[in-house]
Amino acid sequence: MHKLNQQIGSFFTAHPAERYYVACSGGVDSMVLANLLLACNLPLELVHVNYGLRGEASDGDQLFLEDFCKTKGIPFHVKKVNLKEFLSEHGGNLQEEARKVRYAFFEEILAKNGGKLVLAHHADDQVETFLLNLARGGGMMGLSGMLEANGDFLRPLLSFRKQKLLDYAHELGLTWREDHSNAESTYSRNKLRNIILPKLIEIQPDIVDQITCLTRVFQQNQASLANSIALKIATFPLKNTIPINEYNVLDEVEKIELLRQFNIPVGFLSEVNKLATSEKGKVLNFSGDMPGRMVRERDGFYVEYEGVNEQNQTGTLVIEANATLPEAFSKSAIYLNPNGISGELQLRFWQVGDRMKPIGINGSKLISDILTDAKVPHHLRNTQRVVTDGQRILWCVGYAVSREAIAAKELPCIKVTVND
């Protein structure tokens, strides 16, 4: 048995699965990976994304893999998209959008069928990732690079150089497809691969081995750091809230990891540090895989994500006739005189400048001041609701009732509640 087969066999013995899905482009790396699994008699299926970026060449890659799978008797899963058309309509970075499409397809397959997804990243890819993250100011997580096993994603070739895979392919007479766009230095990774890394190797021939060793050290340290920060987050009293006193005692490396676990990119670290000394209500918007915002509250930061924490529904008004007022009142309902209402009762979110005449004070009061006095967190204020009769605000839901249409004792009234 070839030595590479033995090494790969040992890897999969340590990571067993009912089936393995090999992410395959048709290039030499992924074809070597597919053939290694076949040589080890492992249950595999091929997964391919045709982005349509190279026209007939892209379709040729797909046909090549279809023929390979038919010959070997293994299932083939393909997703075909028109990425150029998508980018022209929606914009975005080509490589980033391609990665999103690819990994969404992988996740879909795993969710449906189970098993593990196997990727053909090798040592040279790991070094490129390390240098790119170093140039971007990545924290320990970025410098840790890719993991050999990360959940259901496996990278068994990470310890092997590209040349070793090429030698294996030539020795066994394997066939593959060449993507000539890889020779172009349009993108950052290609520039690094084709221009910068070869120059670094000229200066320091063993730089790949040195960086590979470094990534392993960073991975060990990162695992310890991630566990420590996860345990700290578990002690935070409120979900999606970072207590300011807990944040301020962390060093920069710990802060980076804390933000990572809240899905906030490391590039926003300095802005978050500024937010820590800002006044209440200050907002920091952040981008990334899960864009959102941080709101400075009295005792910390509240983190919310686009499409996750947003509340777009105001709820429904429930109006019931009552013969008399109840013996005890609660903040969840108000009782109004139907004859004092000017129009139809409506429920809406409050707006800047809204005022009402609360029970217990002379004159009127801004809704914003009512919320401030009630110490409502700033991140919740944009979803505060009010009940109006078309002309006046009669209820700042949960906090204040207007004196203008309140029900009188021993007279018929209406009970108003909000159904979420």
Whole-number pLDDT of residue 313: 67
Q: What is the pLDDT of residues 178-208, one digit of tens each?
A: 887 766 666 678 888 888 888 988 999 988 8
Whole-number pLDDT of residue 5: 86
Q: Which of 276, 305, 334 is the last residue of a domain?
A: 305
Whole-number pLDDT of residue 183: 65
- Residue 112 within a domain: yes
- Residue 96 within a domain: yes
Same-domain status, 291 and 322? no
* Res 321 pLDDT > 80: yes
Whole-number pLDDT of residue 53: 85
* Res 44 pLDDT > 50: yes
Same-domain status, 101 and 121? yes
Q: Average pLDDT of 329-333?
A: 84
Whole-number pLDDT of residue 55: 85
How far is Cα 281 from Cα 372, in angstroms, rounded to an integer?
Answer: 11
Same-domain status, 253 and 333? no
How far is Cα 133 from Cα 153, in angstroms, rounded to an integer?
Answer: 21
Q: What is the pLDDT of residues 67-88, one digit of tens each?
A: 999 999 999 999 999 888 878 7
Same-domain status, 139 and 270? no
Q: Average pLDDT of 282-304?
A: 90
Whole-number pLDDT of residue 340: 85
Same-domain status, 389 and 296? no
Containing structural domain, residue 393: 316-419
Global pTM value: 0.65
- Residue 221 within a domain: no
- Residue 228 within a domain: no
Whole-number pLDDT of residue 345: 92
Structure tokens at 199: 């120059």
Same-domain status, 301 and 321? no
Lowest-pLDDT range of 295-299, 309-313, 374-378, 403-407: 309-313
Average pLDDT of the residues of the chain? 89
- Residue 53 within a domain: yes
* Res 143 pLDDT > 90: no
Same-domain status, 264 and 120? no
Query: What is the count of structural domains for the chain?
Result: 3
- Residue 234 within a domain: no
Where does the pLDDT of residue 309 fall: very low under 50, low under 70, confident under 90, or very high at 90 and above? Answer: very low
Same-domain status, 85 and 127? yes
Same-domain status, 300 and 322? no
- What residues does 387 pair with on adjacent strands? 347, 395
Q: Average pLDDT of 334-340?
A: 88
Where does the pLDDT of residue 235 fall: very low under 50, low under 70, confident under 90, or very high at 90 and above? Answer: very high
Whole-number pLDDT of residue 392: 93
Q: Which of 305, 329, 351 is the last residue of a domain?
A: 305
Where does the pLDDT of residue 247 fall: very low under 50, low under 70, confident under 90, or very high at 90 and above? Answer: very high
Same-domain status, 46 and 147? yes
Same-domain status, 272 and 383? no
Whole-number pLDDT of residue 158: 93
